[in-house]
Amino acid sequence: MAVYLATLTVLSYVVWGPWEGVDPRTFSWWVTSLVLLFHVGVGFVIGRWWAVALPLVWALLSSGAGGYDTPLGIQILFQTFFLWGPALALGVGFAQVLRRIRNDLP
């Protein structure tokens, strides 16, 4: 949890906050894809459903990171419902299924 919050808060203050709305190259599809994969991995490692709420804390921590026309914390909060939350849920779901398969094996 601490690695998740530290990594994404640094990303918010160093990359997304200062550059949001200024240079679209920093928001290219591959950066978003890497952040989504990071969320899936974190969900898998944590393996508990409470992990889906972590982007809410990230949004709160990133509220002072800036943003071009909308504060970054608000953007993260908005994106939580269709990007970050589902990616975490996917990772948690994989972990839960793997745990059930392991427990069913003799």
Q: Could you report the per-residue pLDDT of 25-53, keeping only the tens digit for each?
A: 656 777 788 999 999 999 999 999 999 99
Q: Provide the CA 12 distance to its chain's centre, in angstroms.
A: 11
Q: Cα angle vertex 15, ends 13, 19, to 5°? A: 105
Q: Are the CB atoms for 17 and 8 separated by under 8 Å?
A: no
pLDDT digits (tens, 9 = 90+) for 60-96: 998 888 777 778 888 899 999 999 999 999 999 999 9
Task: Name the CA dihedral angle for 40, 23, 71, 89, rounded to a multiple of 10 degrees.
Answer: -10
Q: Are the CB atoms for 42 and 88 separated by under 8 Å?
A: yes
* Higher pLDDT among residues 23 and 35, named by residue: 35
The residue written with tokens 């914390």 in the block is: 73
**CA–CA gap between residue 16 and residue 10 (Å, rounded):** 9
Per-residue pLDDT at 16 exceeds 70: yes
pTM over 0.85: yes
